[in-house]
């Protein structure tokens, strides 16, 4: 299997997985879920790091990669922390009921 075919399979299966993962979500969790998924989309950090790693110390590439890494990390760090802040408020509320009805 060529690298491309393999990548396309990965794309297809990843998409299907994404469609299946969240079927029923209580409206309460829409905002945190959106925010969490948004943080995960900051996985572009991997692309930024790869760009830096393969830059062969070319300065423009290093700068672009670093800038891109900054943007992606802003998304990741901010996204996860904000999501956690929101969710922390839910879990503190219902220790005895143990979640939604």
Partner 1 sequence: MAGLELLPALIDLGAVLLLALGIKGLSKVSTARSANGLAALAMGLAVLGLLIQQPLSPQAWLWVAIGTGLGGVLGLITAQRVPMTAMPETVALFNGCGGMASLLVALGVALFSPGEGSSGLVEQISIVISVFVGAITFSGSIVAMGKLQGWIDTPSWTQSSLRHAVNIALAVACLAGAIALPGDMAGSPLWLLVVASSLLGIGVTLPIGGADMPVVISLLNSYSGVAAAAAGFVVGSQLLIVAGAMVGAAGLILTQVMCTAMNRSLVSVLFGGALGGAAPVGGGGEAAGYTRITSCSAEECALALEAAERVVFVPGYGLAVAQAQHALRELSKLLENHGVEVTYAIHPVAGRMPGHMNVLLAEADVPYEQLLEMDIVNPEFPRTDVVIVLGANDVVNPDAKTDSTSPLYGMPVLEVDQARQVFVVKRSLGAGYAGIKNALFELPQTAMVFGDAKAVLNGLLTELRSMGVGKKVAA
Residues 13-52 touching partner 1, rule: CB under 8 A, are: 13-19, 21-52
56 belongs to the binding site for partner 1 (CB under 8 A): yes
**How far apart are CB 16 and partner 1 at their closest, in Å?**
7
**How far apart are CB 96 and partner 1 at their closest, in Å?**
10
71 belongs to the binding site for partner 1 (CB under 8 A): yes
* Residue 76 and residue 42 in contact, taking contact as beta carbons nearer than 8 Å: yes
Instruction: Report how far residue 35's alpha carbon sits from residue 38's, in angstroms, rounded to the nearest whole number.
Output: 5
φ and ψ at residue 37, rounded to 5 degrees: -60, -35
Tokens of 74: 């802003």
Return left, alpha or beta for 24; rule: phi > 0 is left, psi -120 to 50 is alpha, else beta. beta
Number of residues that bind partner 1 (CB under 8 A): 91
1 belongs to the binding site for partner 1 (CB under 8 A): no
């Amino acid at each position: 299997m060529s690298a491309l075919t393999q990548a396309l399979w990965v794309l297809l299966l990843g998409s299907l997985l994404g469609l299946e993962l969240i079927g029923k979500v209580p409206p309460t969790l829409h905002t945190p879920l959106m925010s969490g998924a948004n943080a995960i989309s900051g996985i572009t950090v991997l692309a930024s790091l790869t760009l830096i790693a393969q830059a062969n110390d070319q300065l423009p590439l290093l700068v672009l990669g670093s800038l891109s890494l900054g943007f992606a990390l802003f998304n990741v760090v901010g996204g996860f922390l904000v999501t956690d802040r929101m969710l922390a408020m839910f879990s503190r509320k219902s220790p005895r009921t143990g979640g939604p009805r």
